[in-house]
Every structure is written in C-alpha cells, then in structure tokens.
Amino acid sequence: MSTLFKASLPCLVALGCSCAGSADPGAFRSYLESEPTSLDPAFAVDVSSGVLCSLIYERLVRPGDDLSIEPSLAGGWEVSPDGTVYTFHLREAYFSDGKRITAGDVKHSLERLLRPDVGSPRGWVMAPVVGAEGFRSGRRDSLRGIRAVDERTVEISLKEPFPAFLSMLAMPSASVVPEGRARAAAPDDRRDPICSGPWVLLEWTRGERVTLARNPRHWGPPALDRLVFRIIPERMTQIAEFEVGNLDHLQIPKSDLARWTSDPAWRDRIERQVDLAVVYIGLNNRKPPLDDARVRRALNHAVDAEAIVTRLMNGTAVRARGAVPPGLPGHDPDRPAYRYDVSLARELLARAGYPDGFRMEIWYREGGGADQVLEAIQAYLKDAGVAAVLRAREWGTLKEAINRGVPDAYYLDWYADYPDAENFLYPLFHSDNWGGGGNRARYSDSAVDSLLEEASRVVSSDERYELYLRIDERVYKDAPWIFLWHPVTSEVRQPWVRGDVLHPLFYGQRFTEVTKTGRSGRDAG
C-alpha cells in the first residue's frame, strides 16, 4: 500500500500544481453558504439572495459604512416639512441592456412588492405608502402614493411621517428593475435579469457558483472585472479553501477564531465588527409564570451573560443591554446591565410566588451551534431553581412553533432588515406584531405601544433616537427576553486584497472599491 501511495504521489503533485489557487487578479473570490433562492428582489428574503440582489440592482439609497443613508440611484432627495412626502431626483443611470432608468421603473419596482399577482412576502416595506391597502387588495391599478413626476423625479407620499422609511428603501427588496416585467428574474421566463447595479449577472451554475461581472454602464463601476461567489455550505471547507488561497476573504467561524488571532501571519489581517443583530432567549409573555415581569427579571439576573460572552465565546459577541445594537443611533452604551445575582433572582422568584422555582422548556434550532452556550444558560438557571429543559428543533418546525407561541421560551436572533433602531423595537415589541410580525415573545405593554407609535412619526432625528433609547430601556427593564448578546463577525483577508471592508449589514458591501495586488493564490502557502 505504501509503495502504491508513494508511486502515485508525483502524479498527484503534478495534478495539484496545475490547479491550486487559480491566480486571477481580475476577480474577487468570495462564497455563499447556501444557494440563493431567487434573483428577483421581491423574493430575496434569504441572505444569499439579498447579497446578490444588492450587487446587481440599484436602490434609490444605500446604507453607508457609518450606517447613515447615502444617495445611490437617487442623487439627492427632499423631505416635506411634515415628513410625509419624499421627492427623489434620479441620477443619469442605465440598465444593463442600455435603457435609461426612469422614474417609471422606480414606481414599477416599488409597486411590485405590493402587487397581488406578484405575491412578494416583502409587501410590508411599502405598507407606509398612501394607498397601499387598496392597491394590494387589487382594487386599484396604481399605487397612489408613488408618482413619477417626470422622467427623473419620483415622489413618494406616506400616510403619516415615518422617517425609518428612508432606510427601508435601502433594502435589497426595494431594488430597481425595468418596467414591464412582473417578475424581475422569473425562472419561468428564462431571461437573464436586467441589472441596474455596479455588477451584472454573468453566470449562475446551480449548486456551484454565481459569477458577476463589472457593469461598465454603471456610474461608479467596480475596479475589478469579476466577482465570484462559490457556494460552500460547509464551514470547514470554507476555511480550507481560504487557506489554500482559493478564496480572497473568509468569515472566521466563532469556534475557530482563537487560532487565527494567535497566528502572526493572519492576526493583522482580521477585521472585526459588531453585527446589527441581537441574540436572545424569548420568553412567552402570555404563559405563566413568564407573564410576571418579576419572574422574567429574575431569569435575567440568574444568567451571567457577561461571563458567557468573555469566557465561552472568546470575544465573538458583546453583551446586550437592550435590543438596539451598538452602532445604531438609539443604542445606549451606558445603560447598566442586569447584575448577575443568584440570590436576587431567587428572591424575585419567591416574591412572584415561585420560591421553589419552576420548569420551562427552551426550544432552539438544531445544528445552529448553540448547544454549548445553552447548556451554560441551563446551568445558571438551575442555580436559581429554574429547571430549563433544552429542546432542539429543526428550523422550519421551530419557526412555526414560536410563531404560534407554543414553547415557553426559545433561543433566537434578530438581524437588521434596515439600519434603524425602529427595526429592533417596533417589530419585536409592538403588540400588533405578535408571531410572524416579529414579536414572538408576545410582549404587550400599552405604554411601549404608544411610545413606539409616537417615535415612528417623529420627524426630528435627535428626538426620535432619544425616544427609541427610552423605549429600549423600558423594554429592557420589563424583560420580555433574557437579553444575551450582539454577535461579532471577524473577517480575514488574503494579503493581496485591498479595499474590502466588513459592513455591519449583510447587503451593505458593494465590492466596488476592492482591488487585488495581482499575487497568485499559490503564493499564500
């Protein structure tokens, strides 16, 4: 056997040399963890589709690196003093087929999200627009609130002031596609999508890779010629591909971070960024004893989230002191966190009538990598007398069960759809949004409801953020969740990569500034 192996070695080496690290200075090589479901922005609800849509389609505005909303297809805009009418001025821009992008295209694209024959799950993005209900129900042929004033001016009227609307227009769902197609990249019509973004779709080999090419018609075309996304579901395989130089960057799996940060070769090439996300254990606020705020607070005091973050998660998360993550206006970095105090937790439980604790089930996603932290949480809860039973459930099953309010508690996260504190408070805590709307804890507080309604209408930014800060604080004290942490993403890059930045939103990176210094992948070793 060993001779056979030795004999085959040179031939393997010969094979290997011709392929390792396909040196391609014109292409940036990235990856996606799963196959995109659709390149139609109206159906892009998963991360892979969102990433691709945000690259091949333009939106009126886009999220800047500091999360402020920046001009994109709209070179500028005005908001009426009462905050209900937005007037966007389109810049001179073209689709990949050479046609000019007009106000009519924008109207069509945004209307599509509400059109009954399209059936987009993202209709809620356009819900604040005047006439949304009538249009969605099919009673009207046109969405009254969106008007193409002239070729290059779009006017959007909202039912009431809603400043977060501008950030919602930065979402991939609000992408601009040409007028005249009900479905932008409909699989049944087999046409390639007509792109408006800095990249265009070159090829999509199912299950394998998606290749984008530079859109020369774009007003800010990318520096590189191509952007290749290989579909690599396995984390360990992603690492291997990066290590041999076949990928230009890598998001380091949390379990593997220590190895990279201690390696002098990679240490300085790692960028870290707190995600616009929050991880929590949602408590079913309708189910006794969790309907008692004292019990919920007791659980927050019982779990030493700080210790889990520092010792177990090795800096791959920062502790949450509310739902709004750092980086968003409305986040309060100085808010005191729940103190880890078992006797206080026991005392609160006793006052609520549970001196001997109680039993509850925590459901979580199977294979989500949360087992270790959940076991730690289980142990903390046990110290306080609460017997937590962990139940792993397949993702689809879990989602359905928590939308219906079945489990006592569930471990879940919430990633920003758009960069605004509103996105972390209104869907998650307003009583109108129980279940699939986002408020899966079935939390209800009339004061929070009216504060949320008030905040969403406030036009002055300072006042608005101040209100969100107060709402976040109130909710935190009321403890509808066990507040855990905000995840931190760490990305490592090959030495030949320049200009790649980690954006806090998954659809924020446009890869237009990225360049490569032309070194081949093989030199990486």
Partner 1 sequence: MSEYLVRRLIPAVPILLGVTAFTFVLLHALPGDPVLAMAGERFDPEAVASLRSQLGLDKPLHERYLNYMGGLLKGDLGESFVSGRPVSEMVLERFPKTLLLAGAAMLFACVLGLFAGVLSAARPGSIADKVGMMSTFVAVSMPVFWLGLLLIFVVSVKFKLLPPSGYGGVDPRYLILPAVTLGAGSAGLIARITRSAMLEAVSEDYITTARAKGLSEVRVMVKHALRNALIPVVTVMGTDFGSYLSGAVLTESIFGWPGLGRLTLDAILKRDLPVIEGSVLFMAIAFMLVNLLVDVSYAFIDPRVRVEERKGES
Residues found near partner 1 in the complex (CB under 8 A): 1, 9, 12-13, 15-16, 18-20, 34-35, 37-38, 43, 45-46, 116, 119-124, 127, 136, 186-188, 205-208, 230-234, 236-237, 240-241, 243-244, 246, 394-397, 399-401, 403, 414-415, 417, 427, 436-438, 525
What is the nearest approach in angstroms of partner 1 to the Cβ of residue 11? 10
Choose between 205 and 460: whose C-beta lies nearer to partner 1: 205
CA dist., res. 367 & res. 437, Å (int)? 25
Residues 443-466, buried b or exposed e (16+ Cβ, 10 A)? Answer: bbbeebbebbeebbebeeeeebbe
Choose between 60 and 412: whose C-beta lies nearer to partner 1: 412
Query: Among 286, 214, 277, which Cα is nearest to 505's?
Result: 277
What is the nearest approach in angstroms of partner 1 to the Cβ of residue 385? 32
Distance, first Cα to last Cα, the chain: 29
What is the nearest approach in angstroms of partner 1 to the Cβ of residue 398? 9
SS (H, E, C) 93-118: CECCCCCECCHHHHHHHHHHCCCCCC
Choose between 198 and 504: whose C-beta lies nearer to partner 1: 504
Residues 327-356, buried b or exposed e (16+ Cβ, 10 A)? Answer: bbbbbbeeeeebebeeebbbebbeebebee
For residue 468 the two structure tokens come to 């969100």
What is the nearest approach in angstroms of partner 1 to the Cβ of residue 95? 23
What is the nearest approach in angstroms of partner 1 to the Cβ of residue 48? 11
What is the nearest approach in angstroms of partner 1 to the Cβ of residue 425? 13
Choose between 45 and 374: whose C-beta lies nearer to partner 1: 45
For residue 104 the two structure tokens come to 């009519």
CA dist., res. 25 & res. 192, Å (int)? 26
DSSP per-residue string spanning 438-471: SBTT----HHHHHHHHHHHH--SHHHHHHHHHHH
Choose between 35 and 292: whose C-beta lies nearer to partner 1: 35
What is the nearest approach in angstroms of partner 1 to the Cβ of residue 15? 5
CA dist., res. 86 & res. 53, Å (int)? 24
What is the nearest approach in angstroms of partner 1 to the Cβ of residue 438? 5
State phi, psi for 230 to the nearest 5 degrees: -85, 150
What is the nearest approach in angstroms of partner 1 to the Cβ of residue 236? 5
Choose between 230 and 296: whose C-beta lies nearer to partner 1: 230
CA dist., res. 442 & res. 362, Å (int)? 16
Choose between 237 and 461: whose C-beta lies nearer to partner 1: 237
Query: Among 404, 390, 402, 324, which Cα is nearest to 359's?
Result: 390
Choose between 120 and 490: whose C-beta lies nearer to partner 1: 120
Contact 227, 512 (CB under 8 A): no
Choose between 338 and 426: whose C-beta lies nearer to partner 1: 426
What is the nearest approach in angstroms of partner 1 to the Cβ of residue 308? 24
Contact 501, 365 (CB under 8 A): no
Choose between 37 and 314: whose C-beta lies nearer to partner 1: 37
The amino acid at 244: V
Find the length of the chain.
525
Choose between 78 and 234: whose C-beta lies nearer to partner 1: 234
Q: Which residues contact 451 (CB under 8 A, 6 or more apart)?
A: 467, 470, 471, 474
What is the nearest approach in angstroms of partner 1 to the Cβ of residue 433? 8
Query: Among 250, 357, 373, which Cα is nearest to 311's?
Result: 373
